[in-house]
Amino acid sequence: MDIASFAGLGLGLFCIVFSILGSGNLMGYIDFDSVIITFGGTFAAVVFAFPFDSLMEAMKSVKYVFIYKQKDSDDIIKSIIDLANIARKEGLLALEEAAMQLKDEFLQKGIMLIVDGTDPELVRNILETELAFIEDRHKGNQSVFETMGALGPGFGMIGTLIGLINMLANLKDPSSVGPNMAVAIVTTFYGSMIANLFCTPVTNKLKIRSSQEILIKEVMLEGMLSIQAGENPRIIEEKLKAFLSPRIRKNLKDTKEQNEGVE
Amino acid sequence: MDIASFAGLGLGLFCIVFSILGSGNLMGYIDFDSVIITFGGTFAAVVFAFPFDSLMEAMKSVKYVFIYKQKDSDDIIKSIIDLANIARKEGLLALEEAAMQLKDEFLQKGIMLIVDGTDPELVRNILETELAFIEDRHKGNQSVFETMGALGPGFGMIGTLIGLINMLANLKDPSSVGPNMAVAIVTTFYGSMIANLFCTPVTNKLKIRSSQEILIKEVMLEGMLSIQAGENPRIIEEKLKAFLSPRIRKNLKDTKEQNEGVE
Amino acid sequence: MDIASFAGLGLGLFCIVFSILGSGNLMGYIDFDSVIITFGGTFAAVVFAFPFDSLMEAMKSVKYVFIYKQKDSDDIIKSIIDLANIARKEGLLALEEAAMQLKDEFLQKGIMLIVDGTDPELVRNILETELAFIEDRHKGNQSVFETMGALGPGFGMIGTLIGLINMLANLKDPSSVGPNMAVAIVTTFYGSMIANLFCTPVTNKLKIRSSQEILIKEVMLEGMLSIQAGENPRIIEEKLKAFLSPRIRKNLKDTKEQNEGVE
Amino acid sequence: MDIASFAGLGLGLFCIVFSILGSGNLMGYIDFDSVIITFGGTFAAVVFAFPFDSLMEAMKSVKYVFIYKQKDSDDIIKSIIDLANIARKEGLLALEEAAMQLKDEFLQKGIMLIVDGTDPELVRNILETELAFIEDRHKGNQSVFETMGALGPGFGMIGTLIGLINMLANLKDPSSVGPNMAVAIVTTFYGSMIANLFCTPVTNKLKIRSSQEILIKEVMLEGMLSIQAGENPRIIEEKLKAFLSPRIRKNLKDTKEQNEGVE
Amino acid sequence: MDIASFAGLGLGLFCIVFSILGSGNLMGYIDFDSVIITFGGTFAAVVFAFPFDSLMEAMKSVKYVFIYKQKDSDDIIKSIIDLANIARKEGLLALEEAAMQLKDEFLQKGIMLIVDGTDPELVRNILETELAFIEDRHKGNQSVFETMGALGPGFGMIGTLIGLINMLANLKDPSSVGPNMAVAIVTTFYGSMIANLFCTPVTNKLKIRSSQEILIKEVMLEGMLSIQAGENPRIIEEKLKAFLSPRIRKNLKDTKEQNEGVE
Q: Among E11, E20, E195, whose Cβ lies nearest the Cβ of C44?
A: E11
Q: Structural domain tally of chain D?
A: 1
Q: What is the pLDDT of residue B237?
A: 85
In order, the DSSP letters of C84-97 are HHHHHHH-GGGHHH
CA E50, CA E66: separation in Å to the nearest integer? 23
* Residue A94 lies inside a defined structural domain of this protein: yes
CA C165, CA E186: separation in Å to the nearest integer? 7
The reply to whether B193 touches chain A by the CB within 8 Å rule is: yes
Average pLDDT of the segment spanning A6-15:
95
- At residue D22's C-alpha, the angle toward residues D19 and D28, to 5°, is 80
Average pLDDT of the segment spanning C47-70:
90
* Residue D4 lies inside a defined structural domain of this protein: no
The reply to whether E155 touches chain D by the CB within 8 Å rule is: yes
The reply to whether B101 touches chain A by the CB within 8 Å rule is: no
Q: What is the pLDDT of residue B245?
A: 60
C-alpha closest to that of B86 among B95, B78, B75: B95
Contact B33 C24 (CB under 8 A): no
CA B89, CA B68: separation in Å to the nearest integer? 36
Give the chain B residue nearest C6 (alpha carbons). Answer: B48
Q: What is the pLDDT of residue E247?
A: 55
* Residue D171 lies inside a defined structural domain of this protein: yes
Give the chain E residue nearest D236 (alpha carbons). Answer: E122
Q: What is the pLDDT of residue C248?
A: 53
Q: What is the pLDDT of residue B248?
A: 54
Q: What is the pLDDT of residue D245?
A: 61
Cβ burial of E184 (10 Å; 0-12, 13-18, 19+) is buried
Q: How many CB atoms lie under 10 A from the CB of residue A195?
A: 24
pLDDT band for position E263 (50/70/90)? very low
Q: Among C16, C178, C202, whose Cβ lies nearest the Cβ of B169?
A: C178
CA D182, CA D180: separation in Å to the nearest integer? 5
Query: What's the Rg (C-alpha) of chain D?
Result: 26
In order, the DSSP letters of chain E are --HHHHHHHHHHHHHHHHHHHHHS-GGGG--HHHHIIIIIHHHHHHHHHS-HHHHHHHHHHHHHHHS-----HHHHHHHHHHHHHHHHHH-GGGHHHHHHT---HHHHHHHHHHHTT--HHHHHHHHHHHHHHHHHHHHHHHHHHHHHHHHHHHHHHHHHHHHHHHHHH--S-GGGHHHHHHHHHHHHHHHHHIIIIIIHHHHHHHHHHHHHHHHHHHHHHHHHHHHHTT--HHHHHHHHHTTS-HHHHHHHHHHHHHHHHH-
C-alpha closest to that of A24 among A153, A183, A191: A183
Question: E34 to chain D: which residues are within 8 Å by CB?
Answer: 19
Question: Which H helix or E strand runs over A256?
Answer: helix A253-262
Sequence-distant (≥ 6) Cβ neighbours of residue D76 within 8 angstroms: D104, D107, D216, D219, D220
Q: Among A179, A208, A242, whose Cβ lies nearest the Cβ of D125?
A: A242
The reply to whether A91 touches chain D by the CB within 8 Å rule is: no
Q: What is the pLDDT of residue E125?
A: 83
Cβ atoms of A8 and A65 closer than 8 Å:
no
Residue A39 DSSP class:
I
Question: A46 to chain B: which residues are within 8 Å by CB?
Answer: 8, 201
Sequence-distant (≥ 6) Cβ neighbours of residue E208 within 8 angstroms: C50, C51, C54
Which of A34, A36, A48, A60 is best to mutate for the B interface (most B CBs within 10 A)?
A: A48
Contact C201 B166 (CB under 8 A): no
Question: A168 to chain B: which residues are within 8 Å by CB?
Answer: 178-179, 181-182, 185
Cβ atoms of E58 and E140 closer than 8 Å:
yes
- Is residue B125 scored above 60 in pLDDT? yes
Q: What is the pLDDT of residue E249?
A: 52
What average pLDDT is seen over chain A?
86
List C-alpha distances in Å: E83 to D17, D109, E109, E175, E251: 62, 48, 14, 77, 21
CA C145, CA C198: separation in Å to the nearest integer? 9
Amino acid residing at C66:
F
Q: What is the pLDDT of residue C261?
A: 40
pLDDT band for position B92 (50/70/90)? confident
Domain of A177 in residue numbering reads as 32-58+71-257
Contact C50 E205 (CB under 8 A): yes
Residue B242 DSSP class:
T
* Residue E52 lies inside a defined structural domain of this protein: yes
The reply to whether D185 touches chain A by the CB within 8 Å rule is: no
Amino acid residing at A174:
P
* Residue D169 lies inside a defined structural domain of this protein: yes
* Residue D145 lies inside a defined structural domain of this protein: yes
* Residue E64 lies inside a defined structural domain of this protein: no
- Secondary structure of D30-85 as H, E, C letters: CCHHHHHHHHHHHHHHHHHHCCHHHHHHHHHHHHHHHCCCCCCHHHHHHHHHHHHH
* pLDDT tens-digit profile, chain D (263 residues): 788 899 999 999 999 999 999 878 898 899 999 999 999 999 999 999 999 989 999 999 999 899 877 777 778 888 899 999 999 888 888 888 888 888 888 898 899 889 888 888 888 888 888 898 889 999 999 999 999 999 999 999 999 999 999 888 877 777 778 878 888 999 999 999 999 999 999 999 999 999 989 988 988 998 999 999 888 888 888 778 777 765 555 544 444 444 444 43
Residue C50 DSSP class:
S
C-alpha closest to that of B195 among D65, C57, A158: A158
Contact C166 E9 (CB under 8 A): no
C112: left (phi over 0), alpha (psi -120 to 50) or beta: alpha
List C-alpha distances in Å: B159 to A77, B76, B190, B195, E237: 63, 50, 10, 15, 59
36-65 in B: which are within 8 Å (CB) of C? 36-37, 40-41, 43-52, 54-55
Instruction: For chains B and A, tell me whether 3 or more CB atom pairs sit within 8 A of each other.
Output: yes
CA C220, CA E213: separation in Å to the nearest integer? 31
Q: What is the pLDDT of residue E139?
A: 95
Q: Among E181, E193, E246, whose Cβ lies nearest the Cβ of C158?
A: E193
List C-alpha distances in Å: C181 to A190, B122, C163, C165, D60: 32, 67, 7, 10, 50
* Residue E221 lies inside a defined structural domain of this protein: yes
Q: Among A44, A50, A122, whose Cβ lies nearest the Cβ of B15?
A: A44
